[in-house]
Structure 1
Amino acid sequence: MNKFELKTVEDIEDFLTGCAFFGTGGGGEADSGRVALTEALEKGYNLTLMDPKDIEDDDTFCTVFFMGSIAPKSPETLNNMEKEGYKDRKYTHVEMLVNAVDELEKYLGKKVAGLYAAELGGSNSACCMAAAYQKGIPIIDGDCSGRAVPEMIQGLPAIHGKSFLPAIFVDSWGNISITINAFNYSAMERIGEMMSIASYGELAEATCSMKGKDLKESIVPYTLSQCLTVGRMIRIAREKGENPCESGAKAANGYFIGKGKIVKKETEDKEGYYWGTYSVEGMDNLIGNNYKIWFKNENHIMWKNDKPIAVSPDMIILLRYIDGKPLSNTTLSEGEEVGMIIVPAREQFLNDDAIAVFGSRYFGFDFDYRPYEPMI
């Protein structure tokens, strides 16, 4: 029986810390997840999770999440929104998600038995949970990616050939659209990208409805409860005066690389994603070493002295060194001192099909994925 429950504001903070940890720089900002779960707690909902073992084979489940670039809006973008009348938001984050699921149920002609998270992250996990609580249906303890990912094609449903269709899109302004056919996963991803651009990055998508027997093959189980464990260990270490970065890495069965300073950040907002590269200067026992981290919404490749040492689906995680707070690529800035962590990929992604859509060559780099090997 799953004993996960968020009973206090501190529990929520611990959980969000863990979600952002596995967000690997993306997965949405924790602020929206904090608002969503705090409101759910105040409304008296039981913030619990459904054990994956309790999934019924013939029940129908779906996922719902946010799409779009995580880049901060530029003055030019804000000006365009003003001119085009994108001023007054009709829906909150959770309302967008709930409405998307409601519209999907209308199209399917039946209710879904529960929701599951598409990925781990400060908003995409927490807000999906809040949507389930508001609808009065379970949220499963697990997700499709075991971390945050930039594209739907990198989740287990796509890797296992499950259909995403129909897909319902609801944005914060009140626009609602449905896609009932796409000729492949890349086309589905591209449609979602264009929809997110049209909504100025404020888009919810309800999709990938499937029977429980198929869902069991398409989720990494118990990852949401793992987020609570990791976040709690980071907080406890901080309170004890211990190194929270080391504690977070240990709790996630990962490796603490060491301390570094962000000396350069280069970014670009294009095609519905936030792209960029960090240059990191080693500190303390890493003095004399230089690191580079490349991201597409999330962190995907890490070099040490120009040699790649970590590649997705392994997880590259940056925490604020002083307190272990996970840092998103939206907010992380030059001058920040960070703790660098590598967490090995989930076992479900250590196969040729997963590497083909999630490894370095998929992202356009001319070298193969190799599992991270800790430096002895």
Structure 2
Amino acid sequence: MSWTLGPSELDDLARGAAILGTGGGGDPWIGRLLVAEAMREHGPVTVLDPEEVADDALVVPVANMGAPTVMIEKLPGADEPVAALRALERFLGREADATMPIECGGGNSMIPLIVAARTGLPVVDADGMGRAFPELQMETFHVYGLTASPLAMAGDHGETCVFDTGRDTVRLEDLARRVTVGLGGGAAIAEFAMSGSDLKRTAVPRTLSLALALGRAVREARAEHRDPVAALGEAVKGTIYGHLRVLFRGKVTDVERRTEGGFAQGRAAFTSMDGTSGLEVRFQNEHLAALVDGEVVCLVPDLVCVLEVDTGEPITTEALRYGQRVAVVGIAAPAIMRTPEALAVFGPQAFGLPFPFRPVERILPV
């Protein structure tokens, strides 16, 4: 059933999107401001359940591309994603019937809302990652047979271009990443144009409404003086994610971060409050692996999320700082993201991690 998203719900949505962003996907609070301004000018946004989308509809996902560390200083704009959508429509010779996120996590959950408010298009309550990932091919759309080409890109000085690499999405990622770096480290993209029937077959469903529910759960727990991390765990139960495990509680003691090849890469170290245990988190835009005292406790595609221990507010990779008191949680990825086909594209080996994937709920049973 369709629903209307208005300005009053954006704080909860941004918070939940940052949780699902696993540290990456761009800063959702910057995106939230852009959405609020677009809604102020053009009104609220209609969100469609995937089952409501006609099989022959044209759905065009939109997003920003680039390293989150760059986007702190080079703020994304509201014109570029609309320009990317229009460039792809011209190339295809057909107007889009709806837009949607390519990832439900971080700032990229907000970009389709900006486009929807400014164009009047509805947004589909689904995405292609179920979290955030750093590369274009790391989407369930690609895993289950769709092609990202043609991809349209727009820069902040009015540049637009269209890439068409046929079915080679890995090559498309390489070319688009290089141009993004040339555009100053950030650009808007429109890609994976698909039919409604392909959307229903390949997307992770109802992730915008999930982000909204997670953000609301944390806010309400704080207002009622309950543990927001526990409330988050309760909110995950009964969803297609199903499991949350607290991996570690402690403080940030070291952060190694570099921007390289268009990505924010590095690691963060955490120490328990009593100093007896340590956690290492490795990231490439997003958190990929969590190891407690050298033992893996959560691995991509499962979600590693760093939260402020008292408030439950998510902390992105670029915002990690020495001394922060945190709770690090692992959230199980949906089944569509754990198939052999999916793990071949965005499992641990896709990131060069020397660990076999094991579900977080099996590593840490209740």
TM-score normalised by length of structure 1: 0.91
CA distance in 2, matches of 1:262, 1:118: 31
CA distance in 2, matches of 1:44, 1:15: 19
**Deviation per CA, 1:209-263, whole angstroms, max 9, x where unpaired?**
1111111112111110011111001001111111112212331231233421110
* Structure 2 counterpart SS, 1:124: helix
Find the partner of 1:281 among 263, 271, 286: 271
The match for 2:54 is 56
Segments of structure 1 that go 5 or more residues without pairing to the other structure are 79-86
**Deviation per CA, 1:160-206, whole angstroms, max 9, x where unpaired?**
12111111110112221111225622111111210111112220111
The match for 1:45 is 43
* Structure 1 counterpart SS, 2:18: helix
Corresponding letter in the other structure for 2:188: A
**Deviation per CA, 1:44-95, whole angstroms, max 9, x where unpaired?**
5223311111111111111111111112489xxx9xxxxxxxx9x9xx6221
> 1:196-215 maps to which residues of 2 (within 5 A)?
196-215=180-199
- 1:32·1:122 contact (CA, 8 Å) conserved in 2? no
CA distance in 1, matches of 2:273, 2:337: 32
Find runs of 4+ consecutive structure 1 residues off by over 6 angstroms. none
Pairing 1:266–2:264 present: no
> 1:18-37 maps to which residues of 2 (within 5 A)?
18-37=16-35
Find the partner of 1:154 among 114, 134, 138: 138
CA distance in 2, matches of 1:275, 1:359: 17
> 1:1-376 maps to which residues of 2 (within 5 A)?
1-3=1-3, 5-9=4-8, 11-72=9-70, 93-181=77-165, 184-253=168-237, 254-283=244-273, 288-372=276-360, 373-374=363-364, 376=366
Shift, 1:7, TM fit: 3.5
CA distance in 2, matches of 1:106, 1:2: 28
- The 3 A distance-change label for structure 1 pair 318 and 263 is same
Corresponding letter in the other structure for 1:332: L
CA distance in 2, matches of 1:237, 1:24: 21
CA distance in 1, matches of 2:14, 2:29: 9
CA distance in 2, matches of 1:233, 1:370: 28
* Structure 1 counterpart SS, 2:201: coil
Corresponding letter in the other structure for 1:60: L
- 1:359·1:369 contact (CA, 8 Å) conserved in 2? yes
Between the two proteins, what is the percent identity of the paired residues? Answer: 28
CA distance in 2, matches of 1:30, 1:228: 13
* Structure 2 counterpart SS, 1:208: coil
CA distance in 1, matches of 2:2, 2:270: 40
Tell which deviates more after alignment, 139-148 or 31-40: 31-40
Tell which deviates more after alignment, 181-190 or 338-347: 181-190
- 2:23·2:316 contact (CA, 8 Å) conserved in 1? yes
**Deviation per CA, 1:260-282, whole angstroms, max 9, x where unpaired?**
11101111211111101011112
Tell which deviates more after alignment, 292-301 or 197-206: 197-206
CA RMSD, Structure 1 to Structure 2 (Å):
1.9
Segments of structure 2 that go 5 or more residues without pairing to the other structure are 238-243
Aligned length: 358
**Deviation per CA, 1:326-348, whole angstroms, max 9, x where unpaired?**
11111111111111111001110
